[in-house]
């Protein structure tokens, strides 16, 4: 809750005025039964039409003022709730953007999306309701009880019995339903995850005729969520009938006792009407209080989920005293010193990279090859600090990569990942992802190097060609070449190609490598194809995280059996 109060400080004026307007409105609402009682006891009983009209006008004016105050209060609540939700959402997105791959793996995409949308929406609704009801409801509850005491103490004893019973019921309801709300959020995360997987993998699902299986998987998750929701609904369904039953019993008791008091002259008919109105106010207030309590419980669960993200410290961050590039001499542009890495935070699982050491000089080409799951992509992720090493150190230009800011490091090092990604918008916008000020001439040059210009030049709009979401309107090979071109913008010092030519034919792949060789950049080529790395200055052969071979092509053909098997199988 402290986090929420911190955001509310920005809207202090609205937070004060909104409840204040509601407080005045509640005061006017409490006066209405007394005014009606006056009309009955004085105006109706004496036949004074003028008095009835005057009091009627006062009640009308009171209701108009209350209506205007309610509008002002609603405006304050809306501005505050929307503003707080926007601020939390912005901070959440900024926090998530600072996460390393480790934190993203921990939470999962589906859960983070739910927290950004559903949980923040819950907080937004709660702020609006709390500002309008948190002061108004207790004031009506207490005010109605006090005024009923003023009217007649004996009949007001009914309220002393009514209110505690209803509060006990509400507390019981809260205790029963509270544990379910957090469980429902978790189960909603699961539904979102399954939905995301199905929408993104719909082609694969259809190709394997798994629509029915996925339908059942979704239905199972949905039914699981539904069962939990039904449990809460069953308890909620009993709440209103029980409360109304108690209220009806209280009303009957009030009429019975009130009738006796009228006969002995202790009360008037107007007093009875006023007390019945106050019973209605107390009933509505208690029902609203129950809704506030339920919303409070749900909001606390959502706040905990938001705070869990906000309190998570990124495992990878910028150093306090970051180094500047080009201010020191270096012999090797990249160096691994006894590097080991484990995806598991507690280091209980098997290491993916084990005691890896190598040196790479400027403008050289490093080739990395190995079977699936051997750790090739992990090396690329360690260089760019998507993950940090478990043991050892990685040196870039002679200094530890942890000594540079992430922005500095990733400005000098560009990576084309296995899974190519293009964003909705024009091709030009996609190419300017690295630098918004890059010229069209530079973009065309990068497209030519990546072998993409031959098909881009044939597109009717050229660089203005609109890319659909996820690059659905370009082929796999075209997408790979476009992402390579994007990485070449501003000519990075170190270019990492992580199996980024797998969809290219051998001729295009060969032309691409020849064009890249003419650049001044240092290259790291990760590939399943031995021909793609055959001419590299240094080749590393991996097998389950272990380095089983290191050297040039000719040396590995003689000394590394795994490399020789890979090359021979592909060559033949």
Tell me which residue of 454, 439, 505, 452 sits closest to 481, measured CA to CA. Answer: 452
Q: Which fold has domain 2-310?
A: ABC transporter transmembrane region fold (1.20.1560)
Tell me which residue of 271, 232, 231 sits closest to 255, measured CA to CA. Answer: 271
- Beta-bridge partner residues of 523: 365, 495
Mention every residue, 6+ apart, whose C-beta is less than 8 A from residue 254: 155, 158, 272, 275, 276, 279
Distance CA 423, CA 472 (A): 10
DSSP helix, strand, coil percent of the chain (3-state; round to 5)? 65, 10, 25
The tokens of 543 are what? Answer: 């097998």
The predicted structure's pLDDT at residue 90? 92
Report residue 506: phi and psi, to 5°.
Answer: -65, -35
Residues of the chain short of pLDDT 50, as ranges, are 348
**Quick check: 488 and 456 in contact, CB under 8 A?**
no
**Which residues of the chain form CATH 1.20.1560.10?**
2-310
Distance CA 302, CA 292 (A): 15
Q: Helix 506-517 vs helix 440-449: angle between axes, to the nearest 10 degrees?
A: 120
Distance CA 554, CA 558 (A): 7
Cα(first)–Cα(last) distance of the chain, in Å?
67
The predicted structure's pLDDT at residue 86? 92
Q: Helix 153-200 vs helix 269-310: angle between axes, to the nearest 10 degrees?
A: 30
Strand, coil or helix: 368:
strand
Residue count of the chain, please give it. 572
Each residue's pLDDT tens digit, 431-486? 888 888 888 899 999 999 888 888 888 888 888 888 887 777 888 888 888 888 88
Report residue 87: phi and psi, to 5°.
Answer: -65, -45
- Beta-bridge partner residues of 315: none
Q: Is 453 left (phi over 0), alpha (psi -120 to 50) or beta?
A: alpha
* Residue tagged 């010193």 (tokens): 337
**Quick check: 91 and 310 in contact, CB under 8 A?**
yes
Distance CA 84, CA 546 (A): 51
The predicted structure's pLDDT at residue 218? 86
Task: Kindly list the distances between the CA atom of residue 408 and the CA atoms of 112, 404, 433, in Å, as whole numbers in the listed order.
Answer: 27, 6, 16
Distance CA 410, CA 251 (A): 73
Tell me which residue of 366, 389, 406 sits closest to 498, measured CA to CA. Answer: 366
Distance CA 225, CA 247 (A): 34
Burial letters for 100-120: b for 16+ Cβ neighbours within 10 Å, e otherwise? bebbeeebeebbbbbbbebbb
Superfamily covering domain 334-571: P-loop containing nucleotide triphosphate hydrolases (3.40.50.300)
Strand, coil or helix: 2:
helix
Distance of CA 352 to the CA centre of its chain: 30
**Quick check: 332 and 411 in contact, CB under 8 A?**
no
Distance CA 542, CA 545 (A): 6
The predicted structure's pLDDT at residue 326? 59
**Which residues of the chain form CATH 3.40.50.300?**
334-571
The tokens of 259 are what? Answer: 């009738």
Distance CA 572, CA 230 (A): 63
The predicted structure's pLDDT at residue 274? 85
The DSSP output letter for 329 is: -
């Amino acid at each position: 809750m402290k986090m929420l109060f911190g955001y509310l400080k920005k809207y202090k004026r609205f937070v004060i005025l909104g409840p204040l307007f509601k407080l005045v409105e509640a005061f006017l609402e409490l006066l209405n039964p007394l005014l009606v009682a006056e009309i009955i006891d004085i105006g109706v009983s004496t036949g004074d039409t003028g008095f009835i009209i005057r009091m009627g006008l006062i009640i009308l004016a009171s209701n108009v003022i209350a209506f205007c105050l309610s509008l002002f209060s609603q405006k304050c609540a809306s501005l505050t709730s929307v503003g707080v939700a926007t601020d939390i959402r912005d901070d959440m997105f900024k926090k998530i953007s600072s996460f390393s791959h480790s934190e993203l793996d921990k939470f999962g995409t589906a859960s983070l999306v739910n927290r950004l949308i559903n949980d923040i929406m819950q907080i937004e609704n709660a702020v609006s309701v709390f500002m309008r009801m948190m002061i108004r409801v207790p004031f009506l509850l207490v005010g109605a009880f006090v005024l009923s005491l003023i009217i007649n103490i004996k009949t007001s004893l009914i309220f002393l019995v009514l209110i505690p019973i209803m509060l006990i019921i509400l507390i019981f309801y809260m205790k029963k339903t509270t544990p379910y709300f957090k469980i429902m959020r978790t189960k909603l995360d699961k539904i979102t995850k399954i939905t995301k997987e199905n929408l993104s993998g719909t082609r694969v699902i259809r190709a394997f005729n798994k629509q029915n299986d996925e339908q059942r998987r979704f239905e199972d998750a949905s039914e699981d969520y539904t069962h939990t929701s039904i449990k809460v609904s069953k308890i909620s369904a009993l709440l209103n009938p029980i409360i109304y039953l108690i209220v009806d019993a209280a009303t009957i008791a009030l009429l019975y006792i009130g009738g006796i008091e009228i006969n002995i002259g202790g009360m008037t008919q107007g007093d009875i009407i006023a007390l019945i109105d106050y019973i209605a106010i107390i009933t509505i207030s208690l029902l609203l209080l129950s809704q506030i309590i339920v919303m409070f419980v749900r909001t606390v669960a959502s706040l905990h989920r938001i705070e869990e993200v906000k309190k998570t410290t990124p495992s990878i961050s910028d150093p306090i005293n970051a180094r500047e590039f080009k201010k020191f001499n270096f012999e090797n542009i990249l160096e691994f010193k006894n590097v080991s890495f484990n995806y598991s935070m507690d280091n209980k699982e098997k290491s993916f990279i084990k005691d890896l050491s190598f040196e790479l000089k400027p403008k050289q080409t490093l080739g990395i090859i190995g079977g699936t799951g051997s750790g090739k992509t992990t090396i690329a992720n360690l260089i760019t600090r998507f993950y940090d090493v478990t043991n050892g150190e990685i040196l870039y230009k002679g200094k530890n990569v942890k000594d540079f800011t992430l922005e500095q490091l990733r400005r000098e090092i560009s990576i084309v990942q296995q899974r190519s990604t293009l964003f909705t918008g024009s091709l030009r916008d996609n190419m300017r992802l690295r630098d918004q000020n890059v010229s069209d001439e530079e973009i065309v040059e990068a497209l030519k190097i990546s072998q993409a210009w031959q098909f881009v030049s044939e597109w009717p709009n050229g660089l203005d060609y609109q890319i659909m979401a996820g690059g659905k309107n370009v082929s796999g090979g075209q997408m790979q070449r476009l992402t390579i071109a994007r990485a070449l913008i501003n000519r990075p010092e170190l270019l990492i190609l992580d199996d980024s030519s797998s969809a290219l034919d051998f001729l295009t792949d060969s032309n691409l490598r020849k064009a890249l060789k003419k650049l001044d950049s240092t290259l790291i080529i990760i590939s399943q194809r031995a021909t793609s790395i055959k001419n590299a200055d240094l080749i590393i052969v991996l097998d389950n995280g272990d380095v089983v071979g290191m050297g040039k092509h000719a040396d590995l053909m003689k000394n590394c059996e795994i490399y020789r098997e890979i090359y021979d199988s592909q060559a033949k």
